Homo-oligomer: A and B are copies of this chain.
Amino acid sequence: MSFKTITAAAIAAVMATGAVADENPAIEQRQGQFKLYSHNIAVLGGMAQGRMDYDAGMAQTAADNLFHVTRHDQSRLWPEGTDSSASMATRAKPEIWENLDDFVAKFVALQNAAEALQAVAGDGLDAMRAGVGPLSGTCQACHESYREEAS
């Protein structure tokens, strides 16, 4: 196969990921990012709250993951018109787009908290806890302002 054929086939295959018809694919793409947050916060939060034994390697891996996932640029994941007034598939409040500077600042706070957590996650339970607290706070700050209650 030529380069072009390989690329076209591979891209078509990658894109065929079950997007809901008529929904902007950015909605499920950004939700994918949140699912990766959950995957890692389950470990870090579980250890911080004593529901799991602290394991330095697992904690560090989860924090490394969060660091990388929070480096993903947000600019194409939140197009206008993908709010909860336009789509049942999202809990993103329209207020996001009325306060974009604040929304971006809250995301930067998450990035900074993830970077700080990455630096300490493997250094023992107390050190990890001291990093998980601020990270959780950045999640909550954004959810309180910009996420609809679960129905």
Contact = CB atoms under 8 A, between A and B. Distances in A.
A100 interface: no
Contact of A6 (B13, B17, B26, B140): B140
Nearest to A66: B72
A71 B72 contact: no
Contact of A31 (B17, B48, B75): B17
B72 A72 contact: no
A99 interface: no
A17 B35 CA distance: 7
Task: Name the interface size band of chain A.
Answer: 35 or more
A150 to B, nearest CB: 6
A11 B45 contact: yes
Contacts of A38: 14-15, 17, 25, 29
A25 B49 contact: no
B31 A33 contact: no
Interface in A13-38: 13-17, 25-26, 28-29, 31-38
Contacts of A49: 4, 7-8, 11
A11 B39 CA distance: 11
Contacts of A7: 45, 48-49, 132-133, 136
